[in-house]
Every structure is written in C-alpha cells, then in structure tokens.
Structure 1
Amino acid sequence: MTGQLAVRRAPLVLVVALFFLWGVANNLNDVLIAHFKKLFTLSDLGAGLVQSAFYLGYFCLAIPAALIMRRFGYRAAVLLGLLLYAAGALMFLPAAAWQSYPAFLLALFVIASGLGFLETSANPLVARLGSEDTAARRLNLAQAFNPLGSITGVLIGRTFILSGDAAPVTSAAGRASEAAAVQGPYLVIGLAVLVWALLIRVTPFPAVATEHDVEEGVGAASDFAAVLRNPRVLAGVIAQFFYVGAQVGIWSFLIRYSEVAVPGTNERTGADYLTASLVLFMVGRFAGTALMTRFSPTRLLAGFAGVGLMCGLVAAVVGGGIGIAALVASSFFMSIMYPTIFAETVEGLGARTKSAAALLVMAIVGGAVFPAVMGLVSDRAGSIVVAMIVPAICFGVVLGFALLAERRRA
C-alpha cells in the first residue's frame, strides 16, 4: 500500500516542483536588467529589452504548447518545455564568452519558450493528478511554490551575479569578469532542469498525463475567434495584458529605481527591496485567499487594484524612500490579480475554457511591452522615477475590469 501511494505521489511532486523552477527563471531577469545595464552600458529602454525578449517567448509559444499538449499529452509538453528551458540556460555560457547582448536576449527567449510550455501544461496536469474534489487544494499548493522560486532567483542573482557596484564597466577585464558572473548560476540551473526532465521521463505517470487530449476541438482558429467575440473574455485578456505589464515593469526596474530615488543605494540593497516585494507578494496570496471568504473576488480585486494605482502614483510623484516603500507595498496588492482575472474570465465557458486559457497566457506578452515603454519614458524624461506612471495606468485598467465584473454580478 505504501509503495502504491508513493507511485501516485511521485508524479505530483515532480510536477509541483516545476512551479518553483519557472519562478527562479522569471525573477532572475530583474537582476539581469541591472547587471546588463552596467555591463553593456545600456539605456533604460535597452535594459528593458530583457523582459521584451523573455515574454515574447510566452506569447509565441502559448498556442503551440496547447496544440502539442493536445496531440501528445501533458507529460510530453512538460518534457519539451524543460528541454527548451535547459537549452536557453546553457546558451548563457557562449553568450557570456562572446559578451553579446543579442545572444543573451536569444537565450532568454528560448528559456521563456520552455516556460510557456510548462505554464500551459503544468496547471491542468496538477488538477488532473488526483481527485477532482481536491484539485483546488493541489493547485493552491503548487502555486505557493512559485513565489518561493522567485525569491530564490533573486537571492541567486544577488549573491552570485551582482557585484554591488552599479558603475558602468569600462575595462576589457572588467567586462569579461561581469559577463562570466552569469555562467555559473545558469550552468547549474540548466543541469538541474535536465535532471528534472530525466526524472519525469523515467517516473511512471498515470494515463491522464500521457493520453492524447482531443476533446473540445482545441486549437481550431474558429474556436479562438469565437472566444474573443465574448466581451467578458476580451476584457479579461486586456486586463491580464495590463496587469502583467505592471507587475513585470515594477519588479524589472525596482533595483534601478532605488538607485535613482535614493542616491547612494547600491544594487545589492536594491535586490533586497526586490526580495521584500516577493515576500509580500507571497503573503498577499494567502491573505487574499482568506479575504475572499468575506468579500467577492471581483470586489477585492477592485480594492487591491485601486491601492496599486495609488502606490504607482506615489512612486512616480513623490519618489525617494517613500516611493520605494510604495513600490514594495504594491506587490502585496498585485498578488491576487492574475488568478482572479483568470478565474473571472474563464468562468462558465465550458468547452471553450481551454481556448480562453491559451489567450490569457498569450496576454503575458504585456510583460514584453510595458518594461520597454517604461524604459522609453525614463530615457525621454531623464528619470526612471517618472516612468512609474506607466504601471499606475495599468492598475487603472485592472480597476476598470474589476468594477465592470462586479457590476455584472450585481
């Protein structure tokens, strides 16, 4: 009996760990922006291309991932995602040797392509690896590992990549040293991901993870078009696009913001602020879940989005230590936005839920657009502080979505 229980639990443990692995990759980018800015002497717009390359991978691979999952099963999609993730991580080694920013951006695109497969397949696979009655509990457990991975990613970057000196690198020896700093962490990550792929390949999985999923006509162009004609789905995709843009934009430039808002702040201290943000984000998920027992999810979303908007305005107008505190605090209020928008958008769609879910994953491309927009605003205005008006506007869009959703429920 114990052996049978272990066989059932092993696949779930392996898949839940994926949430941790993609959290590491997502938030290492926030450290890389600060690192590449000084290594390649980039403008804020140029540094923001780290996220543009990364989240473009999500956009391009969301629907292909859904189609492959449908044709070959969940586990095949997970394995392909892990192989792409590992390949992108290992591409950091030659990119560092060449000291080539475009090569780093290509590596990030490949990593994100793999994560697109993982996010598209891991969520429904966790839900189906067990009883339907406990599916929500399993998903909540899996999601809790994502911010842990995010915190780990920032700590890895702070400890092994950032030198503590934000001054642009001018000497050839200095550039070589700074470029080489990324090789060790990404080599370890790449090898760890390959080991995890091997474990998933050799571990027996239940039939639900390997069988073809051909129900509901997923993947037909007419199906996606029909879903987008639903005003609620279209509004959800737009809200998700702006929300992800706000989240990625704030976290991407928090280190840079702290250096500008409080002169003398070094990049490692900025990374500590980012770590605090991620801790608050994780706490906010648990607090938000508890508050939803007293308030409707859309009403809570409206309140959190309103506070997020105010935090963005304070950061853009007031600046200084107060601005840093506002940005750190905004992470608490961002915590419930993605899952609440997602759930509100797909509710009651029945056979078209999977198509709507793929479109919501594609909306993550907001993380590619808005950091670049913030970089452009910063370069034109001469200060990253002013650029925080962009995520404030994004939170305003989420607030509008929440108010409309709440009115519809009334």
Structure 2
Amino acid sequence: MFIKDNTIQHADGFLNRTPIFQFLLLSSVFALWSAAAALNDVLITQFKSIFELSNFASALVQSAFYGAYFLVAIPASMVVKKTSYKLAILLGLALYIFGCLMFFPASHAGTYTMFLAAIFCIAIGLSFLETSCNTYSAMIGEPERATLRLNVSHTINAMGYIIGLLLGKHMIFQEGVDVGHMMATLTGPELAAFKDQVLQQTLEPYKWLVGVIATIAILIAVTEYPNCKAASDSKDDQPSFGETLSYLMGNARFFKGIATQFAYVGMQVAVWSFTIRLALELDHNMVEHDAANYLLYAFIMYFLGKLLANFLFTKTSQENVLMGYSAIGFICLMYVTFIPNFSAVWVAVGTSALFAPCWATIFASTLQSVDTRYTETAGGFVVMSIIGGAAIPVIQGLLADNIGLQSSFIVSALCFAVVFVYFMNEKKYKQRFNFVAAKA
C-alpha cells in the first residue's frame, strides 16, 4: 500500500483517532452517489417530456433507483461482514461504473425501460457504497465523534448534489429549449430525430462520472484502511444472521429509526423530484433549463444547512437541532402545499437547508441503539429504509395527477412531522437514561 494506516483499533471497532487522509477519501465517495441522485431529478423532467409520461410514471425513475437499495442493502452488509469495508466500497464503485456504461445501449435503444434498467444497475453499486460508507464513516475514529464524522461526510455529499445538477443542467438540458413544446411542433422523422438527439445528451454526464469514479477507486485500492470491526467479528463466535435478525427485531428504538429514515428519504427525494416541475407549473413561460436553477439553489441551501447544523451540534444536542429543523421544515412544506403562487417554489428551495442533517443524524442515532456486534447488518437495514425514496415520490406523484402538484406536497410535510416526533422521543429517552445513570 502506498498510503499507510497508523491508527490503533479498540475492541469495539472504533479507533484512537480519525485517519484524516483515509477519512477524506472515504468522504469523497459520498459525493459520487449524491451526484447520481441529482442527475435523476434532471432525468425525471427530461423523460417526462420525451416519453410523454404522467407524474406517477416519471417518478418510477426514483422507484428503480431506490428500489435497488432495498434489495441489495442486506447482501451488501453481508459482503462487509464477511470481507471488509474497503472491498465492499471497491465492488460498489465497479458496479457504479458498469451502470453508467449501460446508458450507452439505453440511449440507442431509446426506451424508458432500458433507462430504468441502467438506473437500477447504478443504484445496486450505490447500495454497496451507502451500506459500507455510512457505517464506516461512523466507525473510523473516536466513538464520541461518530455523528460529527457522518455529518462532515454528508457535507461533502451535499457538494455532490450541486455538481450532479450542474452536469445535468448544462449537458442534458438545452438552453432556451422547451422539449415538450418542440415535440408538439414536430412530426414523423423530424420528431424521431429530435427525440434521439435529446436522449443522446443524457450520455454526457455519465462519461465524466466514469472517469472520476475510476480515479477514486484506484486511490482507495492503494490506500491502507483500518478494519473497524468489533473484536468478536474476527472470532468463531460472531453472531449469525439469524441471531442478528432476532436481536434487531426486538429492538424498538432501532425500528423507530428505520421508520424515520424511510419517511425522511422519501420526503427529500419527493421534494427534489418535483421542484423543477413545480417551477414549470407556477411559471408557464419558464423552460426546463432555467427551472433547473431552482433545484441548484435547493442543493446550495442543503450544503449551507449542513454547515449550520455542524456548527449547532457544537452548541446543543443533536435532538434539539433536529427538532428545530423538522418543525420549521413542516411549516415550510405546508406553505408550499397551500400557497398558490411562485413564492412556494422559493420556500421549497429553502426547505432543503432543513433536510441537511437528517440522514446522517438519524443513521448515527439508529446505530447507537444497536450493540456493536451487529453494526454491519444494522447499517444494511438502515440503508434498506432508503426504499422510502421509491415509495413516497410515487405516492406524491399519484396525488399530483389527481389533486394537483402543489397539493401533493402534503405528503412530504407529514414526513417531516415524523422526523420531529422521532427526535422528540429520542430526547426523552436520553433524558430518562441519564436520570437512571445519575441515580445509579
């Protein structure tokens, strides 16, 4: 290995310190999967026009993407358990590259189903990455800084959303061109040629991604990483999958965390999936290229919200921060639901700042409810909850087709209420735990 690891590992799998280079390289992977997710939001708008889809049908992009997480997260956690975090990450990067390359035959086939298959394949790789990287980021250092490390990693994740959207905006959308309007003016061979041209443009960002992913994979391959597994994991008495499942099934706090992550991911994906559509609906003179700016602003707000949350975590408890964020977020999404003018778009944009600390903090809080012997599998179950990103947007899309796009945002507002209740209960639990510990 060209870059060595000099940390000392404790029996619980945590380290005496955080290896900075390894941690930053690991955190760069977080930007890779957020870039792919941001491109999905662009593809939804593009596919809706090209394939003339309903809001419900276009939301199937997210179902294909996040459905793969649900199917693969536990197998990915088994790979981590049987091998190492590093090997699981490298496997995920290889699958990510393969999925990107699938866009080439998909663009030539010109069918929605082929694109969904390519997106599904990318998401299989990303499931390996999220299952391994989220847990690894929490473990790769001192235990008391696990939540902080995850939030730092997810700050870099926020940058990936911005980069992914910029790639999509400038490489997929054509400036000044309303795809739906253009298609309405064309017929026969001209229409077919225009559709083919637009679909070919979807390849461009994925060409760049392949190069970046390959570079990061090589750097990780030549870098020595700590094991970060509890001591029992290397012995014959490590818990079986059945024992682990039995333990997790009996852990009420763990399942509340899973349910909350399901609601949060679904809300985030739904709001971002329909932000461009919301701008187009509330301003009929706007084209897709310009409407994408509002999603870019949303990702910038997400990044700034991360920075603010990281600061607030040094001043008060994570429960207080998340209760405040989610309460304000609920009010904002109710505004988006019921105020029928363009200000709703700006409020939706601002709400993204309030999404910022949710995933990492829910993830870390959920893992803290689990014995470290079961960490890898527990992390896989938390990643499975990303299936919320497949379910909630489809529900919101179905409502949008029936009661209107703005009114459908009530679904996302209710999801933010779930996040508030979870952290309120976590705060009460820790207060009771500290009270009992103090009496003892």
Question: What TM-score do you get using the length of structure 2 for normalisation?
Answer: 0.85
CA distance in 1, matches of 2:390, 2:239: 26
**Distance verdict in 2 for CA 1:49–1:178, change over 3 Å:** same
State whether structure 2 residue 106 is matched by structure 1 residue 76: no
**Structure 2 residue identity aligned to 1:309:** F
* Equivalent residue, structure 2, for 1:249: 270
Gaps of 5+ in 1: none
Structure 2 unaligned blocks of 5 or more:
7-18, 432-440
Question: Structure 2 vs 1, CA of residues 285 and 220 (structure 1 numbering), >3 Å: closer, same or farther?
Answer: same
1:358 to 363, 380, 402: 380
1:194 equivalent to 2:214? Answer: yes
Shift of residue 193, structure 1, vs aligned partner: 1.9
The reply on whether 1:334 has 2:355 as its aligned counterpart is yes
Contact conserved, 1:311 with 1:330, CA < 8 A, in 2? yes
2:224 aligns to what? Answer: 205
Q: Write out aligned runs for 1:3-402 (5 A).
A: 11-126=22-137, 139-163=150-174, 164-167=177-180, 169=183, 171-201=191-221, 203-206=222-225, 208=227, 214=234, 217=238, 220-351=241-372, 352-381=374-403, 383-402=404-423
Deviation at 1:209, TM superposition (A): 8.0
Q: Per-residue deviation at 1:350?
A: 2.2
Q: Give CA deviations for 1:126-146 in whole Å, capped at 9, x if unaligned.
A: 456567787666544433211
Change over 3 Å in CA distance of 1:99–1:243 after alignment to 2: same
In 2, the alpha carbon distance for the partners of 1:225 and 1:316 equals 41
Q: CA 1:342–1:318 in structure 2 vs 1: closer, same or farther (change >3 Å)?
A: same
Q: CA deviation at 1:403?
A: 2.2
Contact 2:5 2:224 (8 Å CA) reproduced = no
Of Structure 1 and Structure 2, the greater helix share is in 1
Asked if 1 retains the 8 angstrom alpha-carbon contact of 2:263 and 2:419, the reply is yes
Mapped to 1, the partners of 2:389 and 2:327 lie a distance apart of: 20
> What code does the residue aligned with 1:157 have?
G
How many Å separate the matches in 2 of 1:214 and 1:190?
35
> Residues 261 and 408 (structure 1 numbering): CA distance in 2 closer, same or farther, change over 3 Å?
same
Contact 2:150 2:364 in 1 (8 A): no
Aligned pair count reads 407
2:367 and 2:148 mapped to 1: Cα distance?
Answer: 19
SS at match of 1:208: coil
SS of match in other structure, 2:47: helix
Relative to structure 1, the CA distance from residue 296 to residue 29 in structure 2 (aligned partners, 3 Å threshold; closer, same or farther) is same
Residues 362 and 39 of structure 1: CA distance in aligned 2, closer, same or farther (over 3 Å): same
SS at match of 1:162: coil
Contact 2:96 2:125 in 1 (8 A): yes
Q: Distance in 2 between matches of 1:130 and 1:340?
A: 17
**Alpha-carbon deviation of 1:345?**
2.2
Residue type at the aligned position of 2:366: T
For residue 19 of structure 1, what is the amino acid of its counterpart? F
1:37-75: CA deviation from partner (whole Å, max 9, x where unpaired): 111111000110010100011111111111111212122
Q: Retained in 2: the 8 A contact 1:298–1:403?
A: yes
Would the alpha carbon gap of residues 295 and 221 (structure 1) be closer, same or farther in structure 2, given more than 3 Å must change? Answer: same
Q: How much does 1:112 deviate?
A: 0.8
Moved more, 67-76 or 370-379: 67-76
Which stretch of structure 1 is more off in the superposition, 64-73 or 87-96?
Answer: 64-73
> Amino acid of the residue matched to residue 379 of structure 1?
D
Q: Percent identity?
A: 33
- Please report the RMSD computed on the Cα atoms of aligned residues, expressed in angstroms: 2.7
**Cα distance change on mapping 1:335 and 1:142 into 2, 3 Å:** closer
Q: How far did 1:19 drift?
A: 1.5
Inter-partner Cα distance in structure 2 for 1:12 and 1:75:
12
Q: Which moved more, 1:235-244 or 1:347-356?
A: 347-356
CA distance in structure 2 between the partners assigned to 1:36 and 1:109 by the alignment: 16
State the 1:214 CA deviation: 4.2
Worse-matched range after superposition: 191-200 or 389-398: 191-200
Q: TM-score, normalised by structure 1?
A: 0.91
AA partner of residue 67 (structure 1): M
Amino acid paired to 1:76: L
